[in-house]
Every structure is written in structure tokens, then in C-alpha cells.
Structure 1
Amino acid sequence: MPELKKLTDDLSKCYTGVVHDIMRKEGFRNFTFPSEITALLPDQVLCGPVFTIEGRVDETADGHQTLLEWTGLLSRAKPGRIWVSQPNDRTIAHMGELSSETLKSKGVLGCVVDGGIRDTHFLKAQGFQAWRRFHTPRDVVGHWLPTGFDVDIIIGDVLIQPGDFLLGDLDGLVRVPKAKVQDITAKSVMAMQTESKVRTAILGGMDPQEAYLEFGKF
């Protein structure tokens, strides 16, 4: 756990643009989340390893069973990580006030849902970061059941595996494979240091093309 916290802290000091550029340069593809998934708290960075959830619509499901299974997911939530859900549903909310309060009290860093949330004003008041597509008052009762926990999921064209890292800021959300997070972070930090040199040179009067040719970064 201390190692995960250090990796999270280090990556959170980067920004998505520079991480994107490094990953593109390293040959990675399909690691940027759909732009339609946005942050409830735009100025709050979300960063950390993930645990994943997948589910499906079942309109014949018993209301009690749906709530039993939902609360079971909350019970399995992992502190110091991000809840990432592919509900395979664009109708109901897959995060709300009591759930976010529960997750926050367990030390969960925030959530990413390829779908909707509700009780939005409560989530804002809690300071619980939620990346989502839409808002709706409809909930899971009698409509939805989970099918997997800590399984590979796909959001847009991004494959997310348990333990992968996410970084989200004002520009969007990116996935960093767990096996490469230390390397990508280190290279991102170096790139930011080079960008600082470019910035200083330009502010000092250097032509931008000359700055690019000298530092190899822009």
C-alpha cells in the first residue's frame, strides 16, 4: 500500500497532456477516455490505481436483489483506489449520495462511470470526484445487476485492467498500465522539466522553432 500511495502521489504531480505525449511516444494507443465522460469537480485531479466493476441491465430483477448486490459491491470497495464501472447501461445512475458517502469513508479516491450519476449536489458537497456521462434521478433498483468485480473492462476504446492507474484533470482522463506507471511517470517528470526550459527560453526572446530544435520539445 505505501508503494501504491507513492506512485499515486508522483503521478498526480504530472498532467494529462504530458502523460499523453509520453505514452504516444512510447507507442501506446487507446488510452484516452471518451471526451463525453467529464468530471463533476473539474478543478479536482483524480489519480490512483483502480478496481473495476461490470454489470448488465436486468429489468426482471427483484428490487431487493439489486440492492443486495449493489451494497455487496460497496462492501468490496478498496481504499486508496478508484471505482471504475462499465455498467453497460445509459439509462440509470450508477453512483449516488449514500454510495459515494460509503466509498469516501472507506478511503476510495473517486469514481469513473461509463454512465450516469445522481444526487449530484450531495456528491459536490462531499467533494467526491465522479467522472460520468450524464445525470438522472433513476437508480439501480429493479433494473441492474453486477456481473464482475476486478475484471477487465472497456470504456470507449480504452481497456482498463484491475490495478491500472488513471489520471484525470481539466483536459480529460488517461489510463496508465500498472506495469508501466513508474516508467511513464519518471519520463513525464523529465518532460515537464524540459518544458520549463522551453518556456524560459521563449519568455527570454528565443524563437519558438529555435527553442523546439534546441530542446526537442514543444
Structure 2
Amino acid sequence: MTDKNVTRASALDTATLSDALDKHGLNGQCYRIKPRSTDSRMTGRAWTLLYGPAGVPAGTVGDYIDDVAPGSVIVLDNGGRDNATVWGDILTEVAHAKGIAGTLIDGVNRDVALSLQLGYPIYSRDHWMRTGKDRVQVEATGVPVNIGDVRVCPGDLVRGDADGVVVIPKAQEDQVLATAEAIQQAEDAIRASVRAGLSLREARVQHGYHQLQTREAK
């Protein structure tokens, strides 16, 4: 069964969705989270996991990949740690084979070469080679997590492209998508007007550009 809002979000870029989030007063722009490749694109529903410091004895970093449905975005909250990775080539290979939409990490990953080779989307703070084994462990899955100062709940809509990642809360996604589509339509109209000979100033006034991102009055 096709998820119509995943399809709608996939047709919009993160900049447009970011503007729509601003218009609704929602914080959904994942700060300092970047694609490992600017060719990356991903859209899907969040499947969430929370990591914590390893105990004694250390817990596992997880075999959760077997439980993730195709089309999901795996969302890993590693507390922004940059000294231990929680994603590498085995996970990339399995996720790609399963048809998982991509991986989003508040932290770092390793084995970038395979993700680039396969075209598998990974969004994280950076990449480095040191393992998270015996340094972090799974605390919980299917819980709200924090990615780049954005609260992500299971099932939230996640969209990534060359500019980064936005997360749209499930309860507001219809409103945000409708606003983003209207913003995109207005921006397309501005471009068309300029190509037809109107000045940018005139085109922006005609199509209400300066109000597109302004937060709506309650």
C-alpha cells in the first residue's frame, strides 16, 4: 500500500519543507546533520532507536535491522557522540538489500565507501572509523529520540536531500505538506514570471514571496 504523504514529501525539497515548518511554528530542521553524499535523497517513516553509554558488562549495539520494515528511515540517537560510530558496512549492505529508505544519525558513522558505492543514503554529523562496540549500547527502540535538536517520534515523516534533513511530526504532516506545496507553487510562479520579463521585485510582490515563510497568526 502506497503511503501518499511519503510520496508527496519526496516531491518536495528540504528547503521548501523547512519554510513550511517555519510557517506552522514547528522545529523540524535537524541541526548540523549532513548527507555523506550530496547525491543522497531519502523519504520515509521514522524507525527510532536510542543509544546510551555502555554498561558493565557492555550491552549490545543491536541486531535491530532485522525488525525494520522496507521503506523506513532508521533514526539513531547516539547523543551527538563523535567518538564512537553506530553504523557501518554490514548494516549498510543489509539495509540496502532490504529496501530501507536511509539512515539518520545524531552521531557519526563509518565505512562511507560502501554507502557511496551502493547509493545508500546516510545522514549524520560526520564519519570516523572507531566502533561503538563496548562504548555504547541500545537503550530502547520505538521511542521518541533527539536528532539535531529535533524530537523524532516513531512514524514521523523524514525527508533528506543535499541540504540536510527535516522531520515532520505525524500529527501535523497534512498541514505542513499542503503549505509546502503552496510555497513550491508560488516559487515556480515567480520563476515563470521572471522568465516572462517581470523583474524579480515585481514577481515576488505579485506572488506574495515575502509572506511565504511568515508564521501564521494563531
* TM-score, scaled to structure 2: 0.88
Specify which structure has the higher proportion of helix. 1
- Match of 1:155? 147
Which position in structure 2 is the counterpart of 1:209? Answer: 201
Question: Which residue pairs with 1:34 in the alignment?
Answer: 31
Contact 1:74/1:103, CA 8 A, preserved across alignment: yes
Q: Which residue of 134, 149, 159 maps to 1:167? A: 159
Percent identity over paired residues? 25
What is the aligned counterpart of 1:102 among 81, 94, 112?
Answer: 94
* TM-score of the two chains, using structure 1 as the length reference: 0.88
Contact 1:58-1:145 at 8 Å conserved across structures: yes
Which of 57, 60, 68 aligns to 2:56? It is 60
C-alpha deviation, 1:3, in angstroms: 4.1
Shift of 1:80: 1.1
Structure 1 partner of 2:128: 136
**CA RMSD after TM alignment:** 1.7
Post-superposition shift, 1:59? 5.8
Distance 1:18 1:127 in 2: 24
Higher strand share goes to which structure?
A: 2
Q: Is the 8 A contact 1:165 1:178 kept in 2?
A: yes
1:18 to 16, 19, 23: 16
CA shift at 1:156, angstroms?
2.8
Matched with 2:191 is 199
> Does residue 80 of structure 2 align to residue 86 of structure 1?
no
CA–CA distance in structure 2, aligned partners of residues 137 and 23 of structure 1: 35
Query: Displacement of 1:55 after TM fit?
Result: 1.0
Q: What amino acid is aligned across from residue 155 of structure 1 in structure 2? A: I
Q: Encode CA deviations 1:55-98: one digit per residue, 9 max, x unaligned.
A: 11216334xx52xx511x22222221100111223211111111
Match of 2:68 in 1: 77
Deviation at 1:140, TM superposition (A): 2.5
Q: CA deviation at 1:34?
A: 1.2
| Counterpart check, 1:183 vs 2:180 | no
**2:109 corresponding residue in structure 1:** 117
Could you list the runs of 5+ residues in structure 1 that have no partner in the other structure? none
3-state DSSP of counterpart to 1:131:
strand
Q: Quick check: 1:61–1:143 contact (8 Å CA) kept in 2? A: no
Secondary structure of 2:206's partner?
helix
